[in-house]
């Protein structure tokens, strides 16, 4: 997967817009961010110590809540992980060059559903 693939997949969902935050691309529904490009900060890299951090590009994707986050991480999907900076925050990270198109599509849909207005989400699900 590449970032260009994420763009294509994100725009398959209704009413998605693209923006920028801190110089990185973000995808929103109804003004709420559900996915964003998330390079590692110097502090993130420092926390890895002697270990090599996952190579980019890295995508962050919202989940409905912390229970969903734990459920996603428990599946041990290749490329899905978290870092201490995301402790207590309902989002997972995806190392795009390790994840499949299907996995990223599902993650984006879950993130979109977590942030979309209820009626929009219900309408989309009823058509799918």
Structure tokens at 40: 């590692």
Whether 127 maps to a domain, the answer reads: no
Token pair, residue 107, equals 């993650």
pTM here is 0.92
Token pair for 70: 């734990």
Q: Examine residue 110 and state whether it is found in any structural domain, yes or no.
A: yes
CATH code for the domain of 51: 3.90.1150.30
CB 61 within 8 A of CB 94: yes
Per-residue pLDDT of the chain (128 residues; tens, 9 = 90+): 999 999 999 999 999 999 999 899 999 999 999 999 998 888 888 888 888 888 889 999 999 999 999 999 999 999 999 999 999 999 999 999 999 999 999 999 999 999 999 999 999 999 98
Q: What is the H or E stretch that residue 18 is in?
A: strand 16-21
DSSP-derived letter for residue 49 is T
8-state DSSP, 76: T
Question: Does residue 42 fall inside a structural domain?
Answer: yes
Domain count, the chain: 1
Domain that holds residue 75: 3-118
* 85 within some domain: yes
Residue at 125 is within a domain: no
């Amino acid at each position: 997967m590449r970032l260009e693939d994420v763009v294509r997949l994100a725009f398959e969902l209704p009413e998605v817009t693209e923006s920028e935050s801190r110089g990185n691309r973000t995808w929103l529904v109804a003004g709420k961010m559900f996915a964003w490009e998330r390079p590692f900060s110097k502090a993130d890299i420092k926390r890895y110590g002697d270990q090599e951090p996952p190579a980019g590009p890295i995508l962050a994707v919202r989940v409905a809540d912390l229970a969903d986050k734990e459920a996603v991480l428990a599946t041990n999907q290749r490329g899905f992980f978290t870092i201490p900076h995301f402790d207590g925050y309902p989002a997972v990270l995806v190392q795009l060059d390790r994840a499949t198109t299907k996995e990223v599509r599902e993650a984006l849909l879950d993130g979109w559903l977590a942030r979309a207005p209820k009626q929009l989400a219900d309408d989309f699900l009823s058509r799918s």
